[in-house]
Structure 1
């Protein structure tokens, strides 16, 4: 599996592991990299079966497999303790890691995540799956930005979107791989296990997310013992791309405040100011 390590290399630096969503590519986090490298050791990777981690996924592929693959990858690079920042599917991987390796996962950031699949999100995934199976890869790729970005942002960035369409079509992860990863994502359910995740957690969501209702993050907030919820009003499902300035501010502010022991931080006071 392809992995990239950057940022600080001194022993005192905390390690942030960034895990992307269904696309699986580490490059999803490019708008965050400069902001994070100055203070942290940053790890990005292409998930198995995507990008530069090309592979054929086995039948029955699961979220547990994705978490096991990531921990094995970190082991090979001597990374013992770390924080995980996960977007959607990447957030599910983060929660699985926190459950399986609580002594190693120190903090989590879950971006547009959920406990169990919302009925609306299921409908969106089924539409995308039908496009892929019945119309083909190009139609699936063309439709993808509609679920990720706000309409006004899409209108102003058509040249960029068309270039991304061509790139994603040329480097598509493969129909079988995508369907197996999508099935794993749609099947996972952390509603009965969330109370066991006691690490500090930041929940970031956007209220105009077309794919994952912002109320999913509210349900996560209620279920996780040590969570902070921060909502953005605009940015869509991929608000880390469309409004990276606001997103990065919220992310860095929370990371800096939780450098101290959670017992010494009043999490409610952090977000009194917008």
Structure 2
């Protein structure tokens, strides 16, 4: 009995330590979620400014040098940016994204015969994508980018991705770019989403041209309109990638928070079971000692 009680006491101590670690991870995940969500909200005003700049360009001028689609687009490659995670304890975060990317690219492959270049941001999502069947041919998985662990590191990451994409477009290896990431959701923690970044789709251009300028003073684009439009498109891409990265990191931490909450619940249930077993064994040990005392007392009484 003594060994069993001692063993339970050690298990209870280990469980308390594990619960402390889980509580710390919960606090860190909650803090990170707030940080990344605040970053997404702070982009709204800047995105609106870029959007109105594009409105001015599209309503007044249509620049084919920037938005045209190649006549041989079916033969050119596709660039794919996928945000995942580097760390574990996120449930099916990477598996869900890999499956979503596979389904979406299968649809794209029906119309495109060119090569695909996939920028996988996150070591775990890269390994998941490498295991899928579509990665066996006509796909290059690149892991040049490290998933940022803070808001300050997102800007550098986005800049590097845009530079690499521009290099591939100048080489003529790709003409379309798609973005995949998780977006936070109230009901289901997160949901995988995708969008076509390049070329600017006709529907996106139509949305810009259909929007009305907020004042009666119509804008005028300064000389070198194509250069201005290219700069605005680059800023649009920057905001889109920054938002996607921040939303993905917020979703990752939300998934980790949910996993820690489940773990904490399981630990508390295990704690209750261990405490009940400990008290039951301890009471049984005390009862046995009392029985020994009573038996000894009765034996002494009978001898008298």
TM-score calculated relative to the size of structure 1: 0.27
TM (norm. structure 2) is 0.25
Highest RCO, 1 vs 2 (Cα 8 Å, sep ≥ 6): 2
Structure with the largest fraction of helix: 2
- Structure with max Cα Rg: 2
